[in-house]
Amino acid sequence: MAPERGDTQEERSEARSYGQRASLLSIGVALTGLITYLFFVIASHELSKEDYGEIAVLWSAVFILVSTLQRPVEQLLSRSVSEHIAVGHPYSRPLRVAATIQLGISVVFVAVAVALRGPIEDGLLNGNDFLFWIGVSAVAAYGASYFARGFLAGSHRLTTYATLIICESVSRTAFPLAVAVGIASGQDAVALGIVAAPTLSLIVVPFAFLRRRSPAEHDANVRGDPSEGSARDVRQGELPAEAEFTLAHGGGFAAAVFLIMLSEQAFLNAGPLLVQGTAGAAAAGFIFNILMIARAPLQLFQAVSTSLLPHLTRLRAEGADDDFRASVTVTIRAIAAFAGVAALAMTIAGPELMQIAFGDNFTYERVDLLIVTVGMGLYLAAATLNQAALAQGQVRRAAACWIGCAAVFVAWCLIPIVDDEFRRVEVGFLGGATILCAVLYAIYRRPRPRSEDTFEPGSAEELELRLAAADEGT
């Protein structure tokens, strides 16, 4: 019996260490969201309507592309590295194959973008060739950044991961700040921050590899100590020494997580792109600022989200159904209270607060702000219910809800049922968030878990979902 107690104590110590590092990740996500918000606040004050609108359009396009092209490899790399470490196998092969895939994606993307340079510049960026190259370079640079994130998360270096995303947001915001203090000037200087951020954030990666050779770090962060390999093989099952790593590996679960993330990007970034196509860059900047009422709280909520999922997962694994439901209820009540306070603030002084935050380039209508504020509350409630559904093993059903609601939102924005393009996006966001909240609540109340969608606390699947929440926060 002594060895069993020893194993239990080791696992508990490991869980505490992982929890501490995951808590640091949550703090890092919160700081990243706040600093990213400052990027737009400063840029909106320093640039004209048109220049700021083009920055907003560029940002939206870059992050939709990054989520579509770069995130899947990051997810699969983090899972594969974590699985190899769990059973004491080397993870050099997953790193090599992932690097090949990521490089191939970036090369193909650059080639296609250059081939379509004319339509992209004229249709999306008002003929601005500098912004075109910033966007192309940023998407390619994020390939390296997301590769690093996948490795750091998979090897459980969550503290270094948090440092990377904080470094990224600080580097980005430094550029509009330089414009504000007079060191630089103009749209080009602000836009450089979008490509500099993923590039400069990589300075933390060499330190992670150097520390990898430290025995103390190895024991604290890597669960695959070869001296304990046989015990882990018994507890967690063997992986082949050269496990195949392709886009099909763990594809069902990873694809569902990817669809959820892509849908979130559609909710938050499709609006400015669609408005830009019909009303120009200045209008896109305006609706981007309006949607920041939802985006800014969501970025901070991701810090809660990265902690909420493992908490709910553990409660479910322990069979503590009452505590599970109580945790979800308390979170939603807190969101309702926050949304109520935000709605009151928008009713009393919303237009004035928006102009203080983003400058006086735009005039904001109170009703527009209230529509998005209510949508924000419902969206955050939906995000909470989504974490509950994932903890219940409902990842595929949740993904179907997300992609369906995102498709309805985009379709609504494209159909001119409402003449005012701003009101169309705002009402679409509110309606989409309402439907999403309702269907995720139905899943939460009547779960039908599939064995392949369930995961244990501290597993590769939980790590993948934590990583997804952290990436949405950035």
Separation of first and last alpha carbons in the chain: 46
Rounded Cα gap, residues 8 and 106, in angstroms: 44
**pLDDT per residue rounded down to tens, the chain (474 residues):** 444 444 455 545 555 555 555 566 767 777 888 888 899 999 999 999 999 999 999 999 998 898 888 877 787 787 778 777 766 777 778 788 888 888 888 999 999 999 999 999 988 888 899 999 999 999 999 999 988 888 887 787 878 888 888 899 999 999 999 999 999 889 999 999 999 999 998 888 887 666 544 434 444 444 443 333 333 343 344 544 344 444 444 456 667 878 888 888 888 888 899 898 888 889 999 999 999 888 878 777 776 776 777 778 778 877 888 888 999 999 999 999 999 999 999 999 999 999 998 888 888 999 999 999 999 999 999 999 998 888 888 888 999 999 999 999 999 998 878 778 899 999 999 999 999 999 999 999 888 766 555 655 556 566 666 666 555 555
User: Is 38:190 a contact under the CB 8 Å cutoff?
Assistant: no
pTM, full prediction:
0.80
Rounded Cα gap, residues 296 and 398, in angstroms: 23
Rounded Cα gap, residues 152 and 168, in angstroms: 15
Record the tokens describing residue 297, joined without a space: 């709280």
Work out the widest C-alpha separation in the chain, in whole angstroms: 73
Helix (H, G, I), strand (E, B) or coil at 213: coil
Rounded Cα gap, residues 241 and 367, in angstroms: 60
Alpha-helical segments (H) within 225-365: 229-236, 251-279, 281-317, 321-358
Amino acid at 177: L
Rounded Cα gap, residues 288 and 280, in angstroms: 12
